[in-house]
Amino acid sequence: MIVVIGGGLAGLSTSIHLSRLAPDLPCLVLEGQSEAGGLCRSRRVGGFTFDFTGHYLHMRDPAMISWVDEMLGEKMTQVDRRARIHTRGQRLNFPFQANLHSLPSDVVTRCVVDFFAAGETRSKPASAPNFAQWARQTFGDGIAEEFMLPYNAKLFGVEPEDLSSEWVSWSVPRPSGEDVVRGALGLGNEGMGYNSRFRYPVSGGIGVLADALADRAGDALRCGAQVDRIDAGAHTVHLASGEVIPYDTLVSTMPLPALLRAVEGLDRGGEPLASAADRLRASAVLELALGVERESIAEGAHWVYFPEAKYPFYRVGFPSNVCAAMAPAGCSSLSVEFSWPSGVPSPSLESLVEEARAGLEEAGVLGRRDKILVRDLARLDPAYVLYDHQRTALVDGVLGRLAEAKIHSIGRFGAWCYSYMERALLDGAEIAASIAKTAGGSGA
């Protein structure tokens, strides 16, 4: 029996791929919540639909693209990104480093001069000792100090010197000198970066994708099955209900620190897993979802980054600008994202609404007379894994120890990484292929 912990994208993908590659191998997906989907769910609040912050499907893998397109067909459309950065009272196109034009001329000059001055020392991500130095070496001090450093300090809630630069490879666009000059002259560089075009359901929010996967997983999926404990010696999973389920191979997509605390029987030699868990760090996100009585908002932007400390949020998404069906006619929706320390209790909804409203008015996103019709607070914890200087050796070590005991920890939080929905689907496909191969090879 293959037991999968978690019915998010990674867990569902594991089960669906296994049923195709090894139809004789029984598989059970245990999802703790009452519905599957994990972070890829959507919720209805008073006629509005919200994801757990904007979830836009950017894909590159041909097999995943055809799988998703075949699964969702006309329920999915493609959207050209309209992302902006709000700083110094201006709204720049994303990415900042290639769209400097509307900033004050002394700031543009400094950013461009420093970018070219950095040319001599520009380094590959792995060679910079920390994220702050990587940003300075890659973009120059001007761009680093205007955007890269303040934005990422806000997003991760730590000093950029405390982060490595390993996570930047796919997520941070690196423009050429020509791109920077074109952007400084206002010639436009809109389509840069990994998510310049993305897929999104025509209605119902991103949860439509998870629902389609849950349908395909069928009877292999059990919701409301919270895993409390794993006995790695006896190869058994223990549910909160008291039920005990045996496994041959375990695939876990629950957050790695929680898995390390739940596993028993693997502490011979090496650091106890529970103490390794204490050293894995993440930040949380509080998402304040707002529905407002106003037809158009933020000049059609899909989301806006706010690097300046005077704004309490780091990003604001506008789901109804991506897909009109996310809000009732004549209304708009906002997803206001606050970075929050993991494990620290959330503030009250009222205080967040007050802070958000003040910031949104200051930025000119809302007017004093705009009426907020709905508000809803979601907590994502963990949300962003912190790539501090001990993360990679620690994660590689514990994943190796788990794999030796036939426990494969995958997905965004299982592999304790900064990844995206397509990667979660691929993680599932890859572990299914590996399990099917081993089972076929050994005749199990």
Ligand X SMILES: Cc1cc2nc3c(=O)[nH]c(=O)nc-3n(C[C@H](O)[C@H](O)[C@H](O)COP(=O)(O)OP(=O)(O)OC[C@H]3O[C@@H](n4cnc5c(N)ncnc54)[C@H](O)[C@@H]3O)c2cc1C
Interface residues toward ligand X, by CB under 6 A: 5-11, 30-33, 38-40, 53-58, 226-227, 253-254, 285, 380, 383, 411-413, 419-421, 424
- Map tokens 């630069």 to a residue: 165
Q: How far is the CB of 103 from ligand X (least distance, A)?
A: 27
Find, among 335, 349, 13, 395, the residue nearest to 166 by Cα.
395
Pairing verdict, β 27-31 and 263-264 = unpaired
CA distances from 184 to 89, 138, 181 (A): 17, 17, 5
Q: How far is the CB of 56 from ligand X (least distance, A)?
A: 4
Q: How far is the CB of 126 from ligand X (least distance, A)?
A: 23
Find, among 181, 161, 169, the residue nearest to 97 by Cα.
181
Give the nearer residue to ligand X in terms of CB position, either 54 or 140. 54
Q: How far is the CB of 40 from ligand X (least distance, A)?
A: 4
Give the nearer residue to ligand X in terms of CB position, either 48 or 156. 156
Q: How far is the CB of 29 from ligand X (least distance, A)?
A: 9
Give the nearer residue to ligand X in terms of CB position, either 102 or 226. 226
Give the nearer residue to ligand X in terms of CB position, either 54 or 160. 54
CA angle 302, 304, 310 (to 5 degrees): 155
Pairing verdict, β 315-317 and 407-409 = unpaired
Q: How far is the CB of 74 from ligand X (least distance, A)?
A: 21
CA distances from 366 to 122, 296, 361 (A): 40, 11, 5
Q: How far is the CB of 225 from ligand X (least distance, A)?
A: 6
Q: What are phi and psi of 204, to 5 degrees?
A: 90, -10
d(CA 375, CA 260): 36
- Map tokens 């893998």 to a residue: 61
Q: How far is the CB of 14 from ligand X (least distance, A)?
A: 9
Give the nearer residue to ligand X in terms of CB position, either 142 or 257. 257
Q: Name residues whose C-beta falls within 8 Å of residue 358's C-beta, 6 or more positions apart in sequence.
A: none
Q: How far is the CB of 13 from ligand X (least distance, A)?
A: 8
Give the nearer residue to ligand X in terms of CB position, either 5 or 373. 5
Give the nearer residue to ligand X in terms of CB position, either 107 or 325. 325
d(CA 31, CA 222): 6
Give the nearer residue to ligand X in terms of CB position, either 4 or 298. 4
Q: Name residues whose C-beta falls within 8 Å of residue 8's C-beta, 6 or more positions apart in sequence.
A: 36, 37, 38, 39, 40, 210, 253, 411, 424
Q: Name residues whose C-beta falls within 8 Å of residue 49's C-beta, 6 or more positions apart in sequence.
A: 42, 43, 203, 204, 205, 319, 325, 326, 327
Give the nearer residue to ligand X in terms of CB position, either 148 or 378. 378
Give the nearer residue to ligand X in terms of CB position, either 293 or 376. 376
Q: How far is the CB of 6 from ligand X (least distance, A)?
A: 3
Joined tokens for residue 262: 């739940």
d(CA 19, CA 429): 11
List residues bridging with 305 in a β-sheet: 85, 315
Give the nearer residue to ligand X in terms of CB position, either 123 or 236. 236
d(CA 394, CA 415): 11
Local structure of residue 346 (DSSP, 8 states) = P
Find, among 5, 183, 25, 14, the residue nearest to 103 by Cα.
183
Q: How far is the CB of 119 from ligand X (least distance, A)?
A: 32
Q: How far is the CB of 262 from ligand X (least distance, A)?
A: 7
Give the nearer residue to ligand X in terms of CB position, either 5 or 103. 5
CA distances from 243 to 89, 239, 254 (A): 57, 5, 19
